[in-house]
Amino acid sequence: MLTALSIRDVVLIEALDLDFGTGLGALTGETGAGKSILLDSLGLALGARADSGLVRNGAAQAVVTASFDLPDDHGASELLAENGLAAEPGEPLVIRRIVKADGGSRATVNDQAASASLLKELAPYLVEIHGQHDDRGLLNARGHRALLDAFGRIDTGDAGNAWRAWRDAEQRLADAHAELESAARDREWLEHAVAELTALGAEPGEEEELSAARADMQKGARLAEDLTAISDHLEGSDGGAAQLRQAARRLDRIAGEHPLLADALEALDRAVIEASEAEERLAGARDALSFDPQRLEDTETRLFELRAMARKHRVEPDALPGLAAELAERLGRIEAGGAGITRLEAERAGARAAYDAATAALSQARTAAAARLDAAVAGELPPLKLDAARFRTTVEPLPESQWNATGRDRVEFEISTNPGAPFAPLIKIASGGELSRFILALKVALAEEGGATTMVFDEIDRGVGGAVASAIGERLARLATRAQLLVVTHSPQVAARADAHWLIAKSHDGLVTRTGVTALDAAERREEIARMLSGAAVTDEARAQAARLLEAA
């Protein structure tokens, strides 16, 4: 709810700080005292157009600060969080709007910069202002379906689930048709590609194995001559290894003749061992690097085939087996496509039937709720001097292109103000006073389902008095048990119903005219209601009547 409103240098208001509480608050004062300035100031905080003409003459800027106390689960919380403007738990929501005399404005939400468009988004969650020229809230037909659903406690969850299932089924079918059409156009190419990939029979990792084998065989071909020459030096009866063994045997016969000969024999034995190992290693290398020219040719042929196929399909050689499976699957879907389409069409039809059933139930529930709402509003109209008026809630089917997760109904509130007159939207045929009273009747009937936490009614009692004014006051008081209400009124019957009362008055000091707002105590309140009853000269009878009104409230 709105807890405080601070105004600086707005038109005739120099400095004003107001604190608000729960229940019904009345703002009264003589015509021209500046009640509209107060509402214009609140409108600024809620994103209304910033007009430099609102800045008080001689001031550099006008500043309006509105504070709201909101529960944690309030509808505005998500919007604030999305924009990084959420207040700390337990802290108020503070909106400040500054308008400069030379043009331009800026706004903050919880001391952080915010746009006027964001304030306009926040406004419906915070305050509803119903006045002579209101074109929002209950007058906006786009919100009527949600209001009717809230009134009738209608759950749209089943319809929403059915809608999403139907949309998903439609999308799957469309995707299948598109894939089938695309695949059918490529069928000849697919058949050829699958055939040649199948004939190639590529295996995972095959390209790497072939490449390594080819490299080894090419290396063997390059080293073959050197390996043969080295073998000739080492092997055979005249090879180096044989010569070492012969020398070792001959030295062995004489090694005992001198210590140095024994040392030489040991060294020669080691050389013989090393030479034998070298022979073995050389033989192993020769075997490993040996190649069959035909095998090398076959290996290269296979390797080049794999690489050529990979280039053709713009994939890596190792991806060829997977590509073959993928293309074969696509080809298979073409051949089995008809059956798949039939299955998806059946799923779509089932999802559509489920949506039809869910929305038919919604339409029935809305029609029943509309009848109850019409009866509730009809009961509120006669006491508000709208005896000749009729109210109805139309529930009509929307074209299929406008169906959605909340159903397929168009809902709109309509009235006929005179017998025999056709029904039409509220805003088109209701006069200013009728409009405010219709809104009040609707608000009471709807029991404030889904509304803002604060409502402002601007001169809802214009042009009425007596019993009608009393009926308005009674309904405002009843509505104020569910939400915070502020009413700008000229009716003593309405003012007497208020839980709090402020007097808006204009003062002059010979040079400057100012508008001020004063919170009235019990005695001041009786005096103001007496003034409203009698006019400029307040009589004792008016004071007594004011006291009776206050006691009756």
DSSP characters for 293-341?
A: HHHHHHHHHHHHHHHHHHHHHTS-GGGHHHHHHHHHHHHHHHHHHHHHH
Angle between helices 320-380 and 432-446 in degrees, nearest 10: 110
Which range scores top for mean pLDDT: 439-448, 499-508, 531-540? 499-508
Check residue 271 and give its pLDDT: 82
How would residue 135 be classed by pLDDT, with cut points 50, 70 and 90?
Answer: very low
Question: Is 535's pLDDT higher than 90?
Answer: no
pLDDT at 521: 94
For residue 394, the model assigns a pLDDT of 95
Q: What is the DSSP string of 275-292?
A: HHHHHHHHHHHHHHH---
pLDDT value of residue 451:
60
- Residue 527 has a pLDDT of 93
Q: Is the sign of the CA dihedral 74, 80, 82, 88 positive or negative? A: negative
Rounded to the nearest integer, the mean pLDDT of the chain is 86
Confirm whether 237 is domain-assigned: yes
Task: Give the model confidence (pLDDT) of 228-263 as tens digits.
Answer: 777 777 776 677 777 788 777 887 888 788 888 888
Q: How far is CA 443 from CA 373, 403, 410, 481, 499, in A?
A: 11, 28, 20, 12, 19
Query: Is 67 a domain residue?
Result: no
Judge whether 551 and 543 are in contact, CB under 8 Å.
no
Mean pLDDT of 293-309: 88
Strands (E), 474-533: 484-488, 500-508, 513-519
Condensed to tens digits (0 to 9), the pLDDT of residues 123-134 reads: 888 988 876 545
pLDDT of residue 460: 78
Residue 178 has pLDDT above 60, yes or no: yes
Q: What's the whole-number mean pLDDT along residues 19-44?
A: 88
Q: Is residue 97 part of a domain?
A: no
Please check the confidence at residue 109 and state whether its pLDDT lies above 90. yes
Is residue 225 domain-resident? Answer: yes
Highest average pLDDT, of 8-22, 134-148, 251-265, 273-287, comes from 8-22
- The number of folded domains in the chain is 1
Judge whether 551 lies within some domain: no
Domain range enclosing 296: 188-330
**pLDDT tens readout for residues 37-72:** 888 899 999 998 888 889 999 899 999 999 999 887
Band the pLDDT of 154: cuts 50, 70, 90: very high
Asked if 460 contacts 130 with a C-beta cutoff of 8 angstroms, the reply is: yes
Greatest mean pLDDT range, 4-13, 79-88, 431-440, 467-476: 4-13
User: Is there a contact between 355 and 162 (Cβ–Cβ < 8 Å)?
Assistant: yes
- DSSP code at position 46: T
What average pLDDT score do residues 312-341 get? 83
Q: What is the mean pLDDT of residues 173-191?
A: 80
Any domain includes 217:
yes
| Residue 203 covered by a domain | yes
Flag whether pLDDT at 450 surpasses 60: no
